[in-house]
């Protein structure tokens, strides 16, 4: 397991409840802006979905993965709603309100 993967998991686990982060954002935080694809891959591997809130990680549009997830795309949206995350008409997460800003 690459150290980068562990760093990704660490950041994802550090996302506050009710907030979401983007793949590119996480990659940038880790100092590897070009690793956005790998960030998604790291979550795809998802070695510990119970402690890794991958449902809080979305693409830069705020759209959910859509592909197979720990419990399915519906489960992901369901969890976000349970945490107080709101969605717009487009079915995407309201980034302006729930985008995680660790730098602040």
Residue positions annotated with a catalytic role: 54
**Cα 1 to Cα 9, 74, 78, 85, distances in angstroms:** 12, 29, 30, 31
- Residue 37 as a binder of DNA (CB under 7 A): the answer is yes
End-to-end CA distance of the chain: 30
To DNA, the closest distance from the beta carbon of 32 in angstroms equals: 7
To DNA, the closest distance from the beta carbon of 1 in angstroms equals: 7
To DNA, the closest distance from the beta carbon of 39 in angstroms equals: 7
Contact pattern for DNA over residues 39 through 78, marking x by CB under 7 A: xxx-xxxx--x----x--x-xxx---xxx-xx--------
Long-range Cβ pairs for the range 69-72 (8 Å, 24+) = 70/46
Angle between helices 3-13 and 36-45 (to 10 degrees): 80
What is the contact surface with DNA in residues (CB under 7 A)? 1-2, 4-5, 22-25, 32, 34-41, 43-46, 49, 54, 57, 59-61, 65-67, 69-70
């Amino acid at each position: 397991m690459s150290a980068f993967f562990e760093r990704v998991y660490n950041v994802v686990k550090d996302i506050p409840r009710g907030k979401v982060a983007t793949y590119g954002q996480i990659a940038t935080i880790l100092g590897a802006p070009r690793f956005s694809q790998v960030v998604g891959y790291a979550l795809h591997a998802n070695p510990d979905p119970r402690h890794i809130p991958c449902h809080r990680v979305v693409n830069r549009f705020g759209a959910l993965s859509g592909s197979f997830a720990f419990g399915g795309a519906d489960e992901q949206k369901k969890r976000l709603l349970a945490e107080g995350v709101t969605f717009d008409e487009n079915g995407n997460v309201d980034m302006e309100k729930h985008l995680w800003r660790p730098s602040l």
